[in-house]
Amino acid sequence: MGVMFYMAEKYNIKCHGLTLSIVQAEYIEKEIERRKLDNLVSVEVKNIHDMSGEYDYAISVGVMEHIKDYDGLYQKISKTLKQEGKALVHTMFHREIFHKTDPFFIKIYISRR
């Protein structure tokens, strides 16, 4: 969620974050208050697959390694973006330690986007 603070403080961009973690949401709310960004940053405890609204930008940081429905995430992001909207989906995989990611997956889903 640090990217929200960066975008709000540096570029004056209004940001809305989603998290499944109540503890993380509480931390973010305290940071919003501490940084006096209540007019620019908000957070909601909500599953990303249930997101709604219309956005200029969507950024997903560190979500992919925790879900299995990649296409569902891409479709949801696509539906919430405005006509000229842009998305950035960040993730980290390790082929041998975690999910034994297939290089084909990386080539098809990551490098072509």
Residue 7 identity: M
Least confident window among 11-15, 25-29, 46-50: 46-50
Q: Output DSSP code: residue 64.
A: G
pLDDT for 109: 52
> What are the domain boundaries of the chain?
1-46, 51-113
Cα(26)–Cα(45) distance, integer angstroms: 10
- Cα first-last separation, the chain: 23
User: pLDDT at position 61, please?
Assistant: 82
Structural tokens at position 74: 């891409």
User: What is this structure's pTM?
Assistant: 0.73
- pLDDT tens for 70-108 read 778 888 888 999 999 998 888 776 555 555 556 555 555
As given in the structure block, the two tokens for residue 9 are 């403080």
